[in-house]
Structure 1
Amino acid sequence: MARVIRFYELGGPEVLRIEHVDIPGPGQGEVQIRVKALGLNRAEVMLRTGSYIEEATFPSGLGFEASGNIETVGDGVEGLLPGDAVSVIPAGSMVRWPAYGELATFPAELVVKHPTTLSWEMAAAVWMQYVTAYGAIIDIAKLGQGDFIVITAASSSVGLAAIQIANMVGATPIAVTRTSAKKQTLLDLGAAHVIASAEEELEARLTDIAGPDGVRVVFDPIGGPIYEPLTAAMSRGGILIEYGALSPEPTPFPLFNVLTKSLTLRGYLIHEIIGDPVRLEAAKAFVLSGLASGALEPVIAKTFPFEQIVEAHRFLESNQQIGKIVVTV
């Protein structure tokens, strides 16, 4: 028996329950982990409330990220052994491979022996944020030396990961956040410039920073009315990568800006990297290199014990955090 977190109906954080469940062993090509820490993601809130791209099957588990020691390996697994300290790249389905539990099972190809310098908490905060950001701005946008990149929702774990990756490759990260409350923290965490979108005129500030040539890459999880000023400040041939839909308002298609500047607007989910073995291996190598050099370092906003999962989800929904929320098991 092991403790797991499940829910039986859609709703707020209070629907989450801690239960004792018999956990079957790993199957062919799978690895079972004795979990030490969990990294929380907004996708888990969306699954819990019925707004995610995947539907819960009740009683439903949830969770994408974990770190811990390997308990058991299934048939056909090579290179991983019981006792190894590992962390987990998000699987394609958190209903099929839920992370929230004392024991959790994952496909072996998504289990990584991370640098031993990382704590369990930091290891649980690695893969969703860095693979998401890497896939968009490096694999797709080819961000590099001298580029300007706009990163909206910059205080999120993915936003901070994008700032670090931009600095790692010699680009200039421009962080966008709603108010100036987080401005100094974002500067301290590596942003070259910070724009408070509710207090400043976004297009004018971006033009001041990037100059007449504009910004080549935009990395956005929001959508909505921000599309007009963002695309107006982009360079000819620039690319805007959309990886979320946080805005409750409609997202206009900025036709004039797209036509006159030959812009690319592209939807993106981490699944396209995870589902491609070649691209996934490149992502692993990039992230592990950055972790080893210190260029990439997860930012932990707050840590909760397993028993306070409801409180952890409430904090996740508060949008007060800068960085990753972690639950220790």
Structure 2
Amino acid sequence: MKAILCQQFGPPEQLVLKEVPSPKAGNGQVVIQVEACGVNFPDTLMIEGKYQFKPPFPFSPGGEVSGTVIEVGEGVEHLRVGDAVFSLTGHGGFAEEVVANAATTLPMPTSGAAGAMDFVTAASTMYTYGTSYHALKDRANLQAGETLLVMGAAGGVGLAAVQLGVLMGARVIAAASSEEKLAVCRAMGAAETINYTTENLRDRLKELTNGNGVDVIYDPVGDRYAEPAIRSLAWKGRYLVVGFAAGQIPNIPLNLALLKGASIVGVFWGAFAQREPEMSQQNFRQILHWITGGQLKQHIYRLYSLADAPEALRDLMERRVVGKAVVVAR
């Protein structure tokens, strides 16, 4: 089979497409013939050696896949050869085949008001909607009628947070870096938008909330925008630490949390899915209900061939991707 390999830490341009042996399913595992693989920010960190988990060389990036089960290991009861599935693999997805833990592999829905789930949608669901729903529901306890600020709102997890916030009854303010990106956010239901490259984030939030501040901040960006966002929290507001796509991990004056009675809450969905699989699966049942019912729809930026996977990672790193980039393996 063919796979995109990282043989040493570095930029996407160092990745190579090679022929490698097919994987074998161990106990509690399945082998998936990959149809599509989502492209996510952790992939860019992993190939540069900046992620919490460092697979041994050589490895393939790609942490969420969809495809067909072609081998089932011992101890697997809920999956069979021929099943169409989507899976959280962590890495290995930029390949024609991947081994996956059965516990984090789910059958693709075959029916619903919006029809059966397709492979591209399935491969772009776990990281974005899984992260964002866990953040808003489990970590922020977002309530209907509250105000939600989504930073980096045109990215994969950002757009998911916009859509989910709307479905959960919040007033959503989307912040992004261009008018083109903000137009997509409005199409996804954002009530208000802020271009934080041309507008003062704090002043605009004060204006939009009549000085009351926002209840929940969903922040996958970090860097210089984090502090003015936190200063814009309402009393008992919640700031969700989702990631640092802008590159710099911010230093936050903790007196801000004290003065506002606010919470700074970490969001690590991958660890949550591993440590609390039953609650994670419950979340996904709701997410899949919304997707198959047509209430959630992923915005696909572009489909890339397996050979073009390094280009997909570069586009993500350069923040050209609006919504979700997906690698199609065949």
1:249 Cα offset (Å): 4.5
Going from structure 1 to structure 2, the CA distance change for 1:247 and 1:36 (only over 3 Å counts) comes to closer
CA distance in structure 2 between the aligned counterparts of 1:13 and 1:251, rounded to whole angstroms: 26
Alignment partner, residue 195 of structure 1? 194
Q: Residue 93 of structure 2 is aligned with which of 83, 96, 99?
A: 99
Q: Verify the 8 A CA contact 1:216 1:239 in the aligned structure 2.
A: yes
Amino acid at match of 1:108: A
Going from structure 1 to structure 2, the CA distance change for 1:58 and 1:272 (only over 3 Å counts) comes to closer
Stretch deviating more after TM superposition (4-13 or 176-185):
176-185
Task: Report the secondary structure of 1:320's partner residue.
Answer: coil
2:281 equivalent to 1:287: no
Q: Verify the 8 A CA contact 2:3 2:18 in the aligned structure 1.
A: yes
1:307 Cα offset (Å): 2.1
Q: TM (normalized to structure 2)?
A: 0.93
Gaps of 5+ in 1: none
Spell out the pairing of 1:1-329 with structure 2 (5 A cutoff): 2-88=1-87, 90-91=88-89, 93-94=90-91, 98-116=92-110, 117-249=116-248, 251-275=250-274, 276-329=276-329
CA distance in structure 2 between the aligned counterparts of 1:73 and 1:55, rounded to whole angstroms: 26
Stretch deviating more after TM superposition (268-277 or 38-47):
268-277
1:108 Cα offset (Å): 0.7
Q: Verify the 8 A CA contact 1:115 1:291 in the aligned structure 2.
A: no
Task: Report the secondary structure of 2:67's partner residue.
Answer: strand
CA distance in structure 1 between the aligned counterparts of 2:312 and 2:247, rounded to whole angstroms: 24
1:44 Cα offset (Å): 0.9
Q: Verify the 8 A CA contact 1:132 1:158 in the aligned structure 2.
A: yes
* Aligned-CA RMSD value: 1.6
Amino acid at match of 1:258: A
1:165 Cα offset (Å): 0.6
CA distance in structure 1 between the aligned counterparts of 2:231 and 2:108, rounded to whole angstroms: 41
1:35 Cα offset (Å): 0.8
1:122 Cα offset (Å): 1.4
- What is the number of equivalent residue pairs in this alignment? 323
Task: Report the secondary structure of 2:133's partner residue.
Answer: helix
Q: Verify the 8 A CA contact 1:227 1:254 in the aligned structure 2.
A: no
Task: Report the secondary structure of 1:4's partner residue.
Answer: strand
1:248 Cα offset (Å): 4.2
Q: Verify the 8 A CA contact 2:162 2:189 in the aligned structure 1.
A: yes
1:245 Cα offset (Å): 2.0
Task: Report the secondary structure of 2:59's partner residue.
Answer: coil
Task: Report the secondary structure of 1:72's partner residue.
Answer: strand
Task: Report the secondary structure of 1:228's partner residue.
Answer: helix
1:178 Cα offset (Å): 2.0
Q: Verify the 8 A CA contact 2:148 2:217 in the aligned structure 1.
A: yes
Stretch deviating more after TM superposition (60-69 or 264-273):
264-273
Going from structure 1 to structure 2, the CA distance change for 1:15 and 1:56 (only over 3 Å counts) comes to farther
Q: Verify the 8 A CA contact 2:39 2:324 in the aligned structure 1.
A: yes
Identity percentage of aligned residues: 29
CA distance in structure 1 between the aligned counterparts of 2:68 and 2:59, rounded to whole angstroms: 24
1:267 Cα offset (Å): 2.0
Q: Verify the 8 A CA contact 1:231 1:254 in the aligned structure 2.
A: no
1:296 Cα offset (Å): 1.4
CA distance in structure 2 between the aligned counterparts of 1:16 and 1:252, rounded to whole angstroms: 33
Q: Deviations over 1:113-171 (max 9, x none)?
A: 12232221111111110111011111111112101111101111100110111111111
1:225 Cα offset (Å): 2.7
1:182 Cα offset (Å): 2.0
